[in-house]
């Protein structure tokens, strides 16, 4: 059974700092891995998708890496801003013979960026 | 704009009442998913549709829950005889080429 763990559960940093959020998963047979952002009481916003054959993806100040064999992904946020404050969720999608499965989520990392 | 709308956004009901939520993707998507999220947890998979066919249901989906996607476009999720443990955010998602896009969710509170 696939399990996704995110560390730390919460993180508070001063504005401008670079930071890394960690995600680990127990079954390396994944189709892809997706990072989401969730603001309080809101739905999920997709940030980055890494397919199983890829090692990293970048979007603006965000960079996500994937090491499928070790079951790990990191989300790097450069030059953090107060507007980055949110919960960041990591999710893996199972690979069923090339067919997409449902997403399995971690519990998230709650990020607070102080001005 | 995620391309997925959900209604209502908030629902407060009394224990034992039935509730129905609706998910409307803006454009055509073959796959549509329902997830449930409780406070402090990540979303958990409930069920998914390939066009109008419901192909998978998780063990979280008790017999009080039913979902439909009659024409392969919008979907409804009904909960009968609601219980306080049903209080959660119910999220709908559609699948693009590779990634999933989520709607804003329906927040259910059962008193």
Mutate which: B8, B23, B99, vs A, most A CBs within 10 A:
B99
Contact call for B2 and A43, based on CB within 8 A:
yes
β-pairing, A56-59 with B75-79? unpaired
Q: Is the pLDDT of residue A98 over 60?
A: no
The partner residue sitting opposite A105, judged by closest CB among B31, B40, B43, is B43
Q: Cα B111 vs. chain centroid, distance in angstroms?
A: 20
- Å between A43 CA and nearest CA of chain B: 4
Contact call for B42 and A107, based on CB within 8 A:
yes
Q: Is the pLDDT of residue B101 over 80?
A: yes
Q: What span, in angstroms and rounded, lies between the C-alpha atoms of A45 and B86?
A: 24
- Å between A4 CA and nearest CA of chain B: 10
Average confidence score pLDDT of chain B = 92
Q: Is the pLDDT of residue B41 over 80?
A: yes
Average pLDDT over residues A47-72: 95
Average pLDDT over residues B92-101: 86
Looking at residue A8, the DSSP 8-state letter turns out to be -
- Å between A6 CA and nearest CA of chain B: 10
Contacts of B79 (CB under 8 A, 6+ apart): B18, B19, B20, B64, B65, B86, B108
Phi, psi of B84 (to 5 degrees): -60, -30
- The angle subtended at Cα A9 by Cα A95 and Cα A115, nearest 5°, is 120
Q: Is the pLDDT of residue A12 over 80?
A: yes
Q: Does B98 touch chain A (CB under 8 A)?
A: yes
- Would you call the peptide bond into A8 cis, given omega within 30 degrees of 0 as the criterion? yes
Q: For residue A35, count CB atoms less than 10 angstroms from its CB and return exposed for 0-12, middle for 13-18, buried for 19 or more.
A: buried
CB A85 within 8 A of CB A30: no
How many other CB atoms are found less than 10 A from the CB of residue A70? 10
Query: Could you tell me if residue B78 is left (phi over 0), alpha (psi between -120 and 50 degrees) or otherwise beta?
Result: beta
A8-12, B15-19, B56-60, B82-86 — which is least confidently predicted? B56-60
pLDDT 10s digits, B48-80: 999 999 988 888 888 999 999 998 889 999 999
Residue B26: its pLDDT value, please? 85
Q: Is the pLDDT of residue B28 over 90?
A: no
Q: Does A114 touch chain B (CB under 8 A)?
A: no
Q: Collect all residues of chain B within an 8 Å Cβ-Cβ radius of residue A102.
A: 33, 45, 48, 56, 58
Residue B2: its pLDDT value, please? 58
pLDDT 10s digits, A28-38: 989 899 999 99
Percent residues over pLDDT 70 in chain B: 98
Q: What span, in angstroms and rounded, lies between the C-alpha atoms of B62 and A111?
A: 34
Q: Does B49 touch chain A (CB under 8 A)?
A: no
Residue A96: its pLDDT value, please? 62
Contact call for A46 and B101, based on CB within 8 A:
yes
Residue A99: its pLDDT value, please? 54
């Amino acid at each position: 059974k696939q399990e996704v763990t995110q560390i730390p559960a919460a993180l508070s940093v001063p504005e401008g700092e670079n930071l890394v959020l960690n995600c680990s998963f127990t079954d390396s047979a994944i189709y892809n891995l997706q990072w989401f952002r969730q603001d309080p009481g809101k739905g999920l916003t997709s940030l980055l998708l890494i397919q199983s054959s890829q090692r990293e993806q970048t979007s603006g100040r965000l960079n996500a890496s994937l090491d499928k064999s070790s079951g790990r992904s990191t989300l790097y946020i450069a030059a953090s801003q107060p507007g980055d404050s949110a919960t960041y969720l990591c999710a893996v999608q199972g690979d069923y013979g090339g067919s997409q499965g449902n997403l399995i989520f971690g519990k998230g990392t709650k990020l607070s960026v102080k001005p | 704009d995620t391309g997925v709308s959900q209604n209502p956004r908030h629902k407060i009901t009394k224990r034992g009442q039935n509730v129905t939520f609706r998910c409307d993707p803006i454009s055509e998507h073959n796959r549509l998913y329902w997830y449930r999220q409780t406070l402090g947890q990540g979303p958990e998979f409930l069920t998914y549709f390939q066009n109008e066919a419901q192909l998978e249901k998780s063990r979280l989906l008790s017999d009080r829950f039913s979902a439909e996607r009659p024409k392969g476009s919008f979907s409804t999720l009904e909960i009968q005889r609601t219980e306080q443990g049903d209080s959660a955010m119910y999220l709908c998602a559609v699948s693009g080429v590779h990634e999933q896009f989520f709607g804003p969710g329906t927040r259910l509170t059962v008193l």
